[in-house]
Structure 1
Amino acid sequence: MLIFYIIRKECLILQYTKFNLILLVFILCTLLVGCKTTPQTTAKNEISNILDVIDSSVFGDKPQIIPSNSIFTLSKKDQVQFFEYYNAQNHSDIPPHKRVYNYIENNLHAFNYYGETYTAQETINNNAGNCISLAILTTAYAKLANIKFGYSEVTTAPVYLKESNFQLISNHVRTKLYDPTFVEYDKMVYFYKPGIIVDYFPSRNNWSSGIASYNQFISMYYRNLAAKALLKNQFNKAGWLVIESLKFAPQSLSAINLLAVIYRNLNRYDLSEEVYLQGLKFSKDNLNLLTNYRLLLLKKNKFLEAELIQEKIDSAKDPSPFRWLTLADENYNNQQYYQAIKYYKKVIEIAPYLHHGYAGTAKALHKLRKNSASKKFMEIALEKTHEAKQEKLYKAKLAILQKY
């Protein structure tokens, strides 16, 4: 069952004069830099470099790829069904964006949150899909109704999907349908505008990664398909799909990282390293790029260079608590408990309101037989959690620690 939620109609606004407009713009930029993990804009020649690095000949013949304009296409039957509901006289008093929302909610009540990336039509046919599938379908209906829409990225606690020789970590995207009846006033700056966010099970345990553009969203679609092909060891197909992804978002660090991983698995270590180096020009502190680049260097027996990258990892300023959590969990699973604690404490430093860093520190301390300290961190984790299932788990672990 889907759970949707609504952003209230109030808007945060700020009146301004010509004098304080510059200051306001500076404040807005500061907030965006602080919240968004995407690097600052780079020169056009730098952006083209990552596309120039791509050697598509490595991937063989190009397979058939769904064109971007077909992703949101619905059958005539489904369009007619939507308009019958949307234009019904008994719905005319409902705001247009709310009508779109209601239609989605009514028709997807038995929707299966299945981890496949589908087009809009495939999502209807299967009555299933991941968050991108839901966002694609929402976009398709919004386009039919001529409702403005937008996307936001949310980084959630890592959900590890260990398949083949790869470990995937899920991210999240959601759609906002803007209220077309909202009237903007002159000389007002709106930090956000009223609308409805369509999302699966909203959680407090997430981290906003910022706004995603339409092109960035399309890039996510192809990137997901590329990741799926990679899991099936279809490296050539994965390569072409990630190229398609980069056409829409040349600075996507996730797509750049994926491209480098694909090259590595094709034993093209030279191209893989070149891609990592280009990606690190866009964001020198991105943990995904740094950690995977270090693995590549170790594979190439470049131990000294790998050690230098490890130093960069330890001093990185990556703002995402969940990327640090991923790194901490990796070290914990490798029984490197002191290193894990260091990264768990990074999570606490960045996001002290999340329970994950405290719980991770507690379990690592327990492995080191520091049970008194472990108990204290587990108590804090219990205080910070807002989920009944997680609370029950922490209480059980705390009961075990009480015995020491």
Structure 2
Amino acid sequence: MNFDYSPEDQAFRAEVRAWMQANAPRDASGKATGMRIGKETQFAWEKKLASKGWLAWSWPKEFGGTGWSATQREIFDTERALAGAPSIMPFGVMMLGPVLMQFGTKEQQQRYLPKIAQAEQVWCQGYSEPGSGSDLASLKTQALRQGDKYVVNGQKIWTTQGHWAEWIFCLVRTSTDGAKQQGISFLLIDMKTPGIEVRPILTIDGHHHLNEVFFTDVEVPVENLVGAEGQGWTIAKYLLGHERTGIAAVGDSKRQLSWLKESVARDVALKDDPHARRRITELEVDLMALEYTNLRTLDSMSRGHAPGPESSGLKIKGTELQQAITEVQLELGGHDAMPWQSEIDGDPVYRAANTRYNFLRACTIYGGSNEIQKNVLAKVLIGL
């Protein structure tokens, strides 16, 4: 693909930048500190994007999306990040949407996709279980068919924004015959269904992102099955390819690195320090390589190809880079970077750097641990 930006791309960038500067939520000015924004701010932001027609920014037009090219999508996400605007909750737009386009029935597409694109339905993901994280195929949550419904019993864990969600897409076990991957199915479950309990998990950054979700005799209509029974593992791998591409977070890394460079440039002691310049240059080189790989992946996806093993590579390098940037922020920020979610005056890049550093220890684990991703690359690319 051509990495040069055309005049049309430059005009598109100018349009997106102007809109973001005018519309990014001002109460998300924790942008430079990495502070988490609240439910009301997040929902209002996504409604604003939906009214502009930009919430389903990665979807083709036929399903209510923007139909943007890979380059336009990269420009949009970069300008969104540089404006300090929140990222979009990924579960509906980035994960379930592509799954329904590929595996859903016409009825399911017509029922769910418009609501996702218009920010009228909030989703979460029910994959991991106690003892079934990296070894996801060992999951035990059971869905037994009884006539025109499934009865679901089990537990999910690390359910991001499960306390906000109205619906959850779940991997469930519908059979114990054969290989463990063959008995998994993909169900859509209304979170208001009797028998569902959500319990909070507080993370090291002091926020409530995660939850445990318990299912006790939860009745789910059979028409909420996506694909065929036993096809859940295939669907799960397809979805995870899209998730891992997003976890690379190229736009957000560009934002953090840009603000770090600006902070160093303002610091008399650091701006000419060769160690600081070397550390930032190393991050810039790694980020440029990641960005080009991401663009190639987006271009392939825009031509109808599902994310391949490159999504595992993006996940590995993207999360390692996120961690590396926070390490340099702590290293160069010194005492200014030590407070925990500090609201005191000082360089905004370094405020709460400690919080970001600790929370992002998890990014190499969620979405499939980086060790598992290396095994995927070894198997698919090398044949080991």
**TM-score, normalized by length of structure 1?**
0.23
Larger radius of gyration: 1
**TM-score, normalized by length of structure 2?**
0.24
Which of the two has greater helix per residue?
A: 1
